[in-house]
Amino acid sequence: MENWSLISLCVLLGLTARWAVSFHSYSGAGKPPMFGDYEAQRHWQEVTYNLPVHEWYFNTTNNDLNYWGLDYPPLTAYHSLVCAYVAKLLNPEWVELYASRGYESHSHKLFMRATVLFTDILIYIPAVLLYCFYFCDGSSKQKVATAFCILLYPGLILIDYGHFQYNSVSLGLALWGILGLGLGWDLFGSLAFTLALNYKQMELYHSLPFFCYLLGKCIKQGLTWRGFFHLFKISMTVLVTFALCWMPFLSDPKQPLQVLHRLFPVGRGLFEDKVANTWCSLNVLIKIKTLLSRETQLFLSFALTLLFVLPSSLKLLSKPTLWQFKLALVNTSLAFFLFSFQVHEKSILLVALPVCLVFNEIPLIATWFLLTSTFSMLPLLLKDGLLLPYVVTSLAFLFLSLYLLSALERSTEEELRLGLYRKLTQRWLPKLNLSRIIKWKFWFSLAAMAALSFTSVWLKPPAKLPDLFPVLVSVLSFLHFLGFIIYFNQVQLMEPQRKKSQKKTN
Amino acid sequence: TVMAAPMTNDQSWFYALALGVSFLKCLLINAYHSTDFEVHRNWLALTHSLPVSQWYYEATSEWTLDYPPLFAWFEYGLSHIACFFDKEMLVVPNLNYASPATVLFQRLSVIVADVVFFYAVKECCKCLREDKGKDLLGKPSFILTGLLLWNFGLLIVDHIHFQYNGFLFGVLLLSIARHCQNRHFEGAFLFSVLLNLKHIYLYIAPAYGIYLLRCFCFTQSNAVLVTLGTIVLSTFAVSFGPFIGQLPQVLSRLFPFKRGLCHAYWAPNIWALYNIADKAFSILGVKFRLLDINKLPKASMTGGLVQEFQHSVLPSVSPLATLVCTLLSILPALFKIWHRPNGARGFLRCLVICALGSFMFGWHVHEKAILMAILPLSLLAVDSRKDAGIFLMLSVTGHYSLFPLLFTTQELPIKIFLMLLFTIFSLASLKTLFRKGGALLNPLEVTYLLGLIPLELICEFVYPLTVWQKTFPFLPLMLTSVYCALGVTYAFIRLYNSLLTCSDTTKKTKMQ
């Protein structure tokens, strides 16, 4: 069968899966007075359509920031504005100032879901397809298989089409950025990434690797005027893009400050709700949230994040290849997720995107990570009534990546890049079969996640510990993520000789 | 090229396809379901709560039991599992009860019952002639599995609209496979079981009857005839046995002839074209003052539920007339296989023609019945070029004619995505299979099929925004069924042509 038909089949299946998930409930459905993220997005359409630009981020009589005030950068606001224009055409009641608060109807849900599908088709899906075709090794069928598995990553589908968010826009734009850099179109890549940054400020998790990669490339071009000029061009692109995005807010100095204040609420604590990172997990044993002062918490978080980010970034600076870049993205974003301030569980998607990009090289570990990331969001998904899609998409994803990408077969020690682990155990346990241990751990961990999912749904927690299951989910995920950050750092820093093991077959 | 899955287990791709489609079906659990959902819930309730003597008399709900007894027993069996999901669904007065547990149970029962279909498809694949050393995606058995397991019609009728066709077609395909494997007693037994599960398969009973009589009863000893007769009769006896006392009531439920010539949405058959011709003549007649508008019967053919209506210009059609037309349409095919049976392949072709003929000329045909022609035709399509071309025409047109079944906006993207998925898969895979020898479809056919795209755009996107939506709400349905009727009729003629002109093949095929 020709390539184009295989690709269209995969895309159509991906789209079908997405739309089928969208049949289910969304965040905050039928839960007044605050509802959830779905209502937040609808509210932003209302605010951006009815109010002038200079009022969007301010607390005015018309714009109550306590009721889902805008807390994403301007591109999100412009996107909401465009959606609002379409909404107004279809049914003005959807964006009436005040009157539309908490508006819920079947046709409105269809409209909102359609906006997500539209941006997905426009931005994210083409980026995935292009990535797989330009940067994946192997036969064309293997590329299609990789693209298919990436498209069916459950976490993104469940959050975007279930819980309701527009992560495919920011992640898609970031992926275009990576594509640009990989193809050598640095300016285009920088432009795309700056747009991603201006869509969701969480993309800052990815910014350090972008910076180090570009800086490294410029330095490699020699400390001549060429390198400097290249750096200058990139900086100019970034600055101009920022200026264009923020143009309506640059008239008055108060505006950008207020926007920044909304984007980075340092007033809120170390963490909110249950999230699979260090602070929340530590809090189970020692109540650091109350024990340490705010300044100490900030300092500790900053120090640990820096500690874990530095080695990876320095290595990337010294060796700016695409492979190093992808691994640095994984390591940096995972470090930020684990140690940073005010992290939400959905931020794991920022780590999942670069892991999808190493799918083809290390399928087993990537599959393991992606399933864990979906599992870590289980409490959120259960709250939104998304149990059925969670189970079906996770099982389908597990099955597909094991079958299509032969994840279990391609797991020799070399393919799993266990160089350092081998060196460490060489001395004391030379006969250890590391690859088999990894596989056993993989299955065991999946069994644990399945068991915990099952108990979260079916059993009632004891009265004294009402949050028992979400806490267990977070702690289990945290332990996994800790293992993954060590592993991915090991892979990046050790950089074993990457054989071109997948020969191009046709 | 070798597929990127070096699991060289020969059959692993089959299970991958089966598992994949099951995952898709699970995702569709929360989709729209039609009144057929309530129909089956009602049958679960009445088989569970009432004694056997009451099953065909029960009429609390408008959806009375109108399938043969074996299906009632199937529902009875299911109802025992339903107890564990939600006992309330088994209470007969709970009309339109659709709690999440009920929906989950019913949907899962369809998904699990499809295991029969999977097994049947596996058996059918064994009947195909395989070329060794071919790329997986070009193997006939792979393509057949894809065409059957991922059939668009089955997916949307069974797993969205809600019915148990997968299970039933599994029994049919298994029966066909048994005939291909020369295990004729099993094949006959399975077909008798099928008839007792859903009597719509009477459409293809003539093909079975003629084929079995021709091939076995007169060429081999009388013992064979007797055994065959015993098998069939005993199946019917077991099925209808408990209902012997109430036979008239059961038959009146199974064959309700009070309904009209056409369903509210006309199936794309000859009568759709007949209706449109009648309408056209009456309009022209009024325009040219050949007819008096007051004398025309004021029936609305397209409005409301099933209604008896009379034609204005052309003669009215009675059930007897449709029966005669149907028999006339399939008689030549039956004669052909009586005269010169072409083994299992000839039997299959005759079966498809019987199904399609009954679809074309039958009384009160449901558009879902087109699946009875499309699914067996898939078996022929992976074997011969001509059949592949006919299959493409029939399947694309037939599947498109199922669109009005899912009229909700929420399901619109799903049906478009799945339709494109199946069409692209069938086109691309059959083209790869029959690479040598030119195109499968001639330009006229391609134009006709491409015409479905503007038809869909007009009917579902443009028309609802126009002012005529209020005054003539059923015009898009009429357009769809007439346009598809053209394609179906064309496929029917071509199938007949291929049956009547094919000579005994001297090639050694496995299907002999």
Nearest to B24 among A16, A139, A505 (CB): A16
For residue A130, the one-letter residue type is L
In angstroms, the Cα distances linking B174 to B156, B190, B207, B509 are 22, 8, 16, 19
- Average pLDDT over every residue of B76-93: 91
- pLDDT value of position B503: 57
With contact defined as beta carbons under 8 Å apart, do B382 and B148 qualify?
no
Q: At what angle do helices B475-501 and B270-287 cross, to 10 degrees?
A: 130
CA-wise closest residue to B266 among B396, B159, B360, B160:
B360
The residue behind tokens 């089949």 is: A9
Q: Which chain B residues are closer than 8 Å to A406 by Cβ? A: 4-7
The residue ranking higher by pLDDT, A468 or B265, is A468
What is the rounded average pLDDT of the residues B127-143? 82
Cβ of B414 within 8 Å of Cβ of A141? The answer is: no
- Distance CA(A191)–CA(A198), nearest Å, equals 11
> Over its length of 506 residues, how does chain A's per-residue pLDDT go in tens digits?
788 999 999 999 999 999 999 999 999 888 888 888 999 999 999 999 999 988 888 888 888 888 888 989 999 999 999 999 999 999 999 988 888 888 889 999 999 999 999 999 999 999 999 999 999 888 888 999 999 999 999 999 999 999 999 999 999 999 999 999 999 899 999 999 999 999 999 999 999 999 999 999 888 877 788 888 888 999 999 999 999 999 988 888 888 888 888 888 776 777 777 788 888 888 888 777 777 787 888 888 889 999 999 999 999 998 899 999 999 999 999 999 999 888 888 999 999 999 999 998 899 999 999 999 999 999 999 999 999 999 999 999 999 999 998 888 887 777 777 777 777 777 777 777 788 888 999 999 999 999 999 999 998 888 888 888 999 999 999 999 999 999 999 999 987 544 444 333 33
8 A C-beta contact, residue B232 and residue B195: no
CA-to-CA dists, residue A466 to A289, A450, A461, angstroms:
20, 20, 6
Q: Peptide bond preceding A33: is omega within 30 degrees of 0, i.e. cis?
A: yes
**pLDDT at residue B303 is higher than 70:** no
pLDDT at A427: 75
pLDDT of residue B217: 62
pLDDT of amino acid A243: 93
On whether the CB atoms of residues A94 and A45 are closer than 8 A, the answer is: yes
With bands split at pLDDT 50, 70 and 90, how would you rate the model's confidence at B472? confident
B391, B430 in Cβ contact below 8 A?
yes
Whose CA is closest to A486, among A434, A442, A420, A433? A420
Closest CB from A15, A404, A406 relative to B417: A15
Q: How would residue B305 be classed by pLDDT, with cut points 50, 70 and 90?
A: very low
Dump pLDDT digits (tens) for B317-348: 888 888 999 999 999 999 888 888 778 888 99
At B219, is the pLDDT very low, low, confident or very high (cuts 50, 70, 90)? low
Share of chain B above pLDDT 90, in %: 53
Percent of chain B whose predicted confidence (pLDDT) is above 70: 90
Q: Is the pTM of this model over 0.90?
A: yes
Q: Is A429:A170 a contact under the CB 8 Å cutoff?
A: no
Q: What share of chain B is helix, strand, coil (3-state, %, to 5)?
A: 70, 0, 30
Q: Which two tokens stand for residue B486?
A: 């053209």
Residues of A in contact with B27 (CB under 8 A): 16-17, 20-21, 389, 392-393
pLDDT > 50? residue B205: yes
With cut-offs at 50, 70 and 90, classify the pLDDT of residue B435: confident
d(CA A483, CA A485): 6
- Which two three-digit tokens encode residue A342? 């005010």
B253 versus A390: the higher-pLDDT residue is A390
Give chain A's end-to-end CA distance (angstroms, integer): 12
The gap from C-alpha A420 to its chain's centroid, in whole angstroms, comes to 28
Alpha-carbon distance B48 to B51, whole Å? 8
CB pairs under 8 A between A and B: 93
Compute the half-sphere exposure of residue B445: CA atoms within 13 Å on the CB side of its CA: 20
- Report the alpha-carbon distance of residue B36 to residue B106 in Å, rounded: 11
With beta carbons under 8 A apart, name residues in chain B contacting A107: 409
**B65 close to B250: Cβ distance less than 8 angstroms:** no
CA separation for the pair A179, B4 (Å, rounded): 24
A110 vs B19: CB contact, 8 Å cut-off? no
Nearest partner of A279 among A348, A339, A337, judged by Cα: A339
Q: How far is CA A497 from CA A491, A501, B122, B488, in A?
A: 11, 11, 45, 61
Query: What is the CA angle B385-B386-B388, rounded to 5?
Result: 65
Give B341-381 pLDDT, tens digit per residue. Answer: 778 888 999 999 999 999 999 888 888 999 999 999 999 99
Under a CB-based contact definition with an 8 Å cutoff, are residues A26 and A109 in contact?
A: yes
Residue B14 has pLDDT above 70, yes or no: yes
Q: 10 Å Cβ neighbour count for A306?
A: 12
Chain A residues whose beta carbon lies within 8 Å of the beta carbon of residue B29: 388
From CA B70, how far away is CA B503, in angstroms rounded? 40
Q: Are A379 and A473 in contact (CB under 8 A)?
A: yes
Helix (H, G, I), strand (E, B) or coil at A387: helix
Q: What is the ipTM of this complex?
A: 0.92
CB neighbourhood size of B34 (10 A): 16
Task: Show the tokens assigned to A475.
Answer: 């702690």
> SS3 helix, strand, coil % of chain A, rounded to 5?
70, 0, 30
Six-digit token pair at A53? 């630009």
The answer to whether B128 faces chain A, any CB pair under 8 Å, is no
User: What would the DSSP string read from start to end of A177-203?
Assistant: HHHHHHHT-HHHHHHHHHHHHHH-GGG
Residue B508 pLDDT exceeds 60 = no
Nearest by CB to residue A110, choosing from B26, B410, B421, is B410
B410 — contact with chain A (CB < 8 Å)? yes
CA dihedral A182, A188, A193, A199 (to 10 degrees): -140
Mean pLDDT of B201-221: 81
Report the mean per-residue pLDDT for chain B: 86
Q: Which residues of B touch A387 (CB under 8 A)?
A: none
Provide the residue type at A180 as one letter.
Answer: G
Decide: residue B208, CB within 10 A, 0-12 exposed, 13-18 middle, 19+ buried: buried
Is there a contact between B26 and A392 if contact means CB atoms under 8 Å apart? yes
CB A247 within 8 A of CB A75: no
Q: Do B432 and A505 touch (CB under 8 A)?
A: no
Please report which helix (H) or strand (E) contains residue A359, including its range: none
Question: Which residue is closest to A504 within chain B, CA to CA?
Answer: B1
Instruction: Show residues of chain B in contact with A110, CB under 8 Å.
Output: 409-410
